[in-house]
Homo-oligomer: A and B are copies of this chain.
């Protein structure tokens, strides 16, 4: 046997060993992928429906209105006031600052992918993004208008919006209405989706996730996070009690809320039904790694702490440091691309001016 042929045999042996390992990894990855595909779904192209279509005209109008502060009573509040383009559609505050400096009792969630949740708001008191946009205009904490007529008067005063409303809602005698405000902003929010590495994984490309992220996904499923955080938005599809094993504020350090005259009781604040005490919408987890602080009152700043607290409060588990780090690595794979519609801001028509 020559030196050369022994080298070849040796090389073949190495290739065979590597191949066996690749096959084993492939089998593991394939099994994880198949489990994940049963629990989650990749993002659709948009969140439009037959009732709420995302026509280009509605999206263009809604995009402008999203950034429009001149229809609020303090001239400062717009959707973008608490959902900033630079901060992944949040304001990075524990609790947002609303009309005339009033502190809003809850944290501003990201607007990305929110249209895909089963209801809106932490307490689920808005059925969809359209209803959210409509009712915000008369909330004393938000746009602050006395009623819809007062809001519509402010909107119609910016006359350059009229042709945009006419295009978005053709054939309507008066298209500049509160309903169409909601539909236009809703259409815009229905395209604010952020495809992430996890979507590519769900579509079959298992190489997208790091080994640590795959371990994290496996752990996320195995310990039971997925019992609530599932579906296309990895959460946002059901209600759940916050604080199953103990009162949540023991772990989160949450303060009493003046408006609620005590701790935030979730859906109970709206329904006054004892069965709803401490029931919140399960939060969606898309972009969670880039949207601190966490929980309905932004009481926890660090994602690792948030994961640890959830394990304890909801599942009665003391997750170890490695488990937490792995789960965080998986959650990082939910960070998507900021949609161009949001990263760039349209110029709004000037008002108080008779020119174009």
Contact = CB atoms under 8 A, between A and B. Distances in A.
Interface of A: 64, 67-70, 74-76, 80, 84-88, 91-93, 97, 100-101, 289-293, 301-304, 328, 332, 338, 343-348, 350-356
Copies of chain A in the complex: 2
A193 to B, nearest CB: 16
List the 10 closest pairs (A to B, CB-CB), nearest first.
A101-B101, A301-B352, A85-B345, A67-B86, A344-B344, A292-B352, A86-B348, A290-B350, A75-B93, A86-B345
Contact of A343 (B303, B304, B347, B353): B347
A11 to B, nearest CB: 38
Contact of A353 (B100, B101, B292): B292
A103 to B, nearest CB: 10
A97 B302 CA distance: 31
Given A86-B347, A101-B101, A352 B69 contact: no
Which secondary structure dominates chain A's binding surface? Answer: loop
Contacts of A301: 352-353
B347 A345 contact: no
Given A86-B347, A92-B70, A289-B350, A328 B304 contact: no
B343 A345 contact: yes
A303 B353 contact: yes
Contacts of A289: 350, 353, 355
9 contacts: A67-B84, A76-B97, A86-B348, A87-B348, A92-B351, A301-B353, A304-B354, A343-B345, A345-B345
A122 to B, nearest CB: 20
B93 A76 contact: yes
A92 B69 contact: yes
From A69, A76, A93, residue with most partner B Cβ within 10 Å: A76
A93 B291 CA distance: 30
